[in-house]
Homo-oligomer: A and B are copies of this chain.
Amino acid sequence: MISDPLSRTFAALADPTRRAILARLALGETSVTELADPFDMSLPAVSKHLKVLEHAGLITRGRTAQWRPCRLDAAPLKQATDWLAEYRQFWEDGFDRLDEHLRELREAATTQEQTDDRA
């Protein structure tokens, strides 16, 4: 069992079906039956995914209504984004370096063309 909240969030997101469930819940709360519908999956299989999402705090389930609606809770997604934001400079630097490399390639190609024209 994963003990820290951030690891639970990332582990919950590490599955395309669970991400699709969150995408569906972004449109509004719904029942487990309705959630299961587009996935060609048994209710127990969907319930298992919901338990992982619930354990990570990514969804809450109604206690009063008999159909126990599932609802998105985005707070853990904010924690995950905050953690990732610390690394933003690295991909931005990475793209800067790529830009520079492409510029150098273009310049080299232009110089080559000019040399060819002169020949």
Which residues in A have some Cβ–Cβ distance to B below 8 Å?
2, 4, 6-11, 13-16, 19, 22-23, 26, 72-75, 77-78, 80-81, 83-88, 90-91, 94
Say which residue of B15, B74, B85 sits within 8 Å of A94 (CB atoms): B74
Say which residue of B15, B72, B74, B86 sits within 8 Å of A7 (CB atoms): B15
Known: A14-B11, A74-B94. A87 touches B19 (CB 8 A): no
Decide: B83 and A88 in contact? CB cutoff 8 A.
Answer: no
Q: Chain B residues with Cβ under 8 A from A22's Cβ?
A: 87
Docked Cα-Cα span, A43 to B74, in Å, equals 37
Decide: B26 and A90 in contact? CB cutoff 8 A.
Answer: yes
Decide: A14 and B2 in contact? CB cutoff 8 A.
Answer: yes
